[in-house]
Amino acid sequence: MLQSTPYPETASTRTKWIRALREPSSRPGAQSTPDTLVEQEMGPKGCLLETATIFLINRECPWTCVMCDLWKHTSLKPMSPGHAPAQLSSALRQLETASKQRLKQIKIYNSGSFFDTKAIHTADYMRIADSLSGYERVIVENHPKLSGKHISLFKELLDPQLEIAMGLEVADDPLLDKLNKRFSLEDYMTACEFLNAQRIAHRAFIMVQPPFTGQAEALSLCQRSVRFAFEQEASCVSLIPSRATTGAMHALKNQGNFVQPTIHTLESCFSHALQMNLGRVFVDLWDLEMFSECKVCFEPRRARLQQMNQFQKILPEIQCHMCHR
């Protein structure tokens, strides 16, 4: 019944609607081991960097964006001081053992904001900073409205260069409001101005074909958002295809308010963003197969996007005899 209820107009009612539509999910416990991965990313100096990502288990993000499914990987209980650095140290030991090459760049994602002091306690900053000595760059995620003194404090303790990843999603205020992001483009610009003044790099996450938009406008909206991010001096942008992975997103889909992008739309947005030649652009390849309808050409398309990610060059398009795309 709730799925057929019109999408609420206010942030508070939207939040309740989104949370009420959550499907049952087993959350990780406090003693769970954080996931890690290692991949190559083109760095700001034009060289491929061996990059590790650590997904800390932490408290749920309080913002409740309509498309977010990261809450599935968070703990129901608050984490006590000392828990984040302990997880980080354990994950770093595993990475050092498994990796064959020296890791220069590390991403620490906590399914929320690193500078949410109820998630990452300020008392833990020193231990975290000490464990990251030897890396060249550390990237953490953060909400634009949490840009302030805690970032400056952590930066002063940190030996590597700090970079902040923020979910811009889309350069459109009405859409940001509908996504329940709880910030405006002016808020985002203010956050970037603070980071730029502190000489802290930042990157933007941008959604491809977000809810309340269609395929016809996906490309122009993506280009506008990419341009806006680079106008704020972003070091790079990452394109994230919108997914129907939560009850709220399935409800929007059933109401006609969300259409999942195709792999062809994603390819087009990525190619045009690179063609703008404003800076490094990456595309998220996580669960990429869910956007493809052709098994014959999927793997070549995935390989092409991966190579474009690594080398920041537009490669020849894939021609498929089966789907004729």
pLDDT at 5: 87
Is the pLDDT at 30 greater than 90? The verdict is no
Is the pLDDT at 223 greater than 80? The verdict is yes
255/131 Cα distance (integer angstroms) = 48
Across the chain, mean pLDDT equals 94
- Output the domain CATH number for residue 298: 3.20.20.70
| The dihedral sign for the CA sequence 148, 152, 153, 154 | positive
Torsion of CA 243, 267, 236, 217, to 10 degrees: -70
The label of the residue with tokens 């303790």 reads 157
| The dihedral sign for the CA sequence 219, 214, 209, 222 | positive
Task: Classify residue 25: in a domain, yes or no.
Answer: no
The string of pLDDT tens digits covering residues 51-73 is 999 999 999 999 999 999 999 99
Q: Which tokens hold the place of 94?
A: 């595993």
Q: Give φ, ψ of 38 to 5 degrees.
A: -125, 130
pTM: 0.95
Sheet strands (E) in 31-160: 35-42, 48-55, 105-109, 137-141
Task: Classify residue 176: in a domain, yes or no.
Answer: yes
Task: Classify residue 23: in a domain, yes or no.
Answer: no
Please give the residue range of the domain that contains residue 273.
Answer: 32-309
Task: Classify residue 318: in a domain, yes or no.
Answer: no
User: In the structure, what pLDDT confidence band is assigned to residue 1 with cuts at 50, 70 and 90?
Assistant: low
Closest CA to 267 of 194, 231, 225, 215: 215
Task: Classify residue 72: in a domain, yes or no.
Answer: yes
Task: Classify residue 22: in a domain, yes or no.
Answer: no
Mean pLDDT of 221-231: 98
User: In the structure, what pLDDT confidence band is assigned to residue 4 with cuts at 50, 70 and 90?
Assistant: confident
Is the pLDDT at 19 greater than 90? The verdict is yes
Task: Classify residue 56: in a domain, yes or no.
Answer: yes
pLDDT at 178: 97
Task: Classify residue 294: in a domain, yes or no.
Answer: yes
Mean pLDDT of 170-182: 98
Share of the chain above pLDDT 70, in %: 98
Q: Which tokens hold the place of 316?
A: 């020849």
Distances (CA, A) of 228 to 163, 190, 307: 18, 13, 25
Is the pLDDT at 98 greater than 90? The verdict is no
Domains: count for the chain: 1
pLDDT at 100: 62
CA angle 192, 189, 186 (to 5 degrees): 155
188/192 Cα distance (integer angstroms) = 6
The label of the residue with tokens 């991010």 reads 229
N- to C-terminal Cα distance for the chain? 39
User: In the structure, what pLDDT confidence band is assigned to residue 164 with cuts at 50, 70 and 90?
Assistant: very high
Q: Which tokens hold the place of 169?
A: 């999603």
270/291 Cα distance (integer angstroms) = 14
